[in-house]
């Protein structure tokens, strides 16, 4: 029996942590070792095999329990007259978890069709008795990101960004479009509308193992979470790891995390790509 509400709340946001944020306090990327690649989304070569459309379904769990399902999709579209990709992520707890902590979350990212930057990012959260609804718009002309609370109508002060800045969901697909190898450390400009930071993603291995979708070879990806808040900050040995298929699609096969309140996982069960 699920004893705490906190694990379900933690699980609801883990799929957005494919590239963990490390705030830098400035527009400059953090100091990095020799294998670091400072990614410029405006010029870096990309191979987005998902650009024609993709629909992925995930099973989410805490310890031995399946407590939620998630769907992530991408489709070609337009945003204010510009060629774009529309990326959506929805998370919904099952009946078992609803009895303890009901979650109905959805996020949408609009990115340039060439994956050069984000246009807009919105997030609607319904977790327990709490509701949040916000949108962040990225302006390439003024180089600012502005966040609006759609429940209260309150607009926050604009945040300075750099060319090629991505949002927390769109950056997942940028990483999937890149070529990389074991030992690489990818540093990518990102913003949630409240600060500019540089997401740091390390490629730590390549393995062959069994997944729910079958036996696959996969890249092992670890985002830098040392400055991420919440339960990660309160957990002494917190970890977050992703497995991307080691083929042209780089499908997100599995995510797993160890924090103080338990072991969480999300695994791909179906794809319509």
- Domain borders along the chain are 6-271
Confidence of residue 227 (pLDDT cuts 50, 70, 90): very low
Confidence of residue 129 (pLDDT cuts 50, 70, 90): confident
Q: Does an H or E element contain 106, and which?
A: strand 104-112
Q: How confident is the model at residue 237 (pLDDT cuts 50, 70, 90)?
A: low
- Indicate whether 50 pLDDT > 50: yes
138 Cα distance to chain centroid: 17
Tell me which H or E stretch contains 240.
Answer: strand 239-245
Q: Are 141 and 23 spatial neighbours (Cβ–Cβ below 8 Å)?
A: no
Confidence of residue 124 (pLDDT cuts 50, 70, 90): very high
CA dist., res. 42 & res. 174, Å (int): 11
Predicted confidence (pLDDT) at residue 128 exceeds the cutoff of 90: no
Q: Is the pLDDT of residue 7 over 50?
A: no
- The highest-confidence range among 32-46, 97-111, 154-168, by mean pLDDT, is 154-168
Helices and strands: H and E segment counts in the chain: 4, 16
Residue 266: C-alpha distances to residues 19, 47, 85, 119, 242 (Å)? 15, 25, 24, 27, 9
What's the whole-model pTM score? 0.86
Q: What is the mean pLDDT of residues 38-53?
A: 95
106 within 8 A of 89, measured Cβ to Cβ: yes
């Amino acid at each position: 029996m699920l004893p705490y509400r906190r694990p379900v709340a933690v699980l609801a946001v883990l799929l957005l942590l494919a590239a963990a944020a490390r705030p830098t306090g400035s527009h400059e990327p953090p100091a990095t070792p020799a294998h670091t690649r400072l990614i410029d989304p405006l010029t870096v070569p990309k191979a987005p095999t998902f650009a024609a459309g993709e629909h992925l379904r995930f099973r989410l769990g805490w310890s031995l329990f399946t407590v939620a399902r998630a769907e992530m999709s991408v489709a070609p579209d337009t945003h204010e007259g510009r060629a774009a990709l529309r990326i959506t992520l929805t998370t919904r707890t099952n009946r078992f978890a609803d009895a303890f902590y009901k979650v109905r979350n959805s996020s949408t990212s609009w990115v340039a069709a060439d994956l050069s930057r984000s246009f807009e990012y919105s997030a609607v959260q319904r977790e327990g008795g709490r509701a949040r609804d916000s949108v962040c718009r990225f302006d390439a002309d003024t180089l600012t990101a502005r966040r609006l609370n759609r429940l209260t109508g309150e607009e926050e002060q604009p945040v300075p960004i750099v060319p090629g800045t991505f949002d927390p969901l769109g950056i997942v697909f940028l990483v999937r479009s890149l070529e990389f190898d074991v030992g690489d450390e990818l540093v990518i400009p990102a913003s949630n509308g409240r600060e500019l930071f540089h997401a740091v993603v390390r490629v730590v291995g390549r393995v062959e193992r069994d997944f729910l979708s079958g036996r696959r070879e996969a890249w092992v990806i670890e985002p830098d979470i040392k400055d991420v808040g919440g339960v990660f900050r309160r957990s002494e040995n917190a970890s977050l790891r992703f497995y991307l298929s080691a083929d042209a699609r780089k499908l997100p096969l599995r995510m797993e995390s160890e924090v103080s309140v338990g072991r969480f996982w999300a695994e791909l069960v179906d794809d319509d790509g």
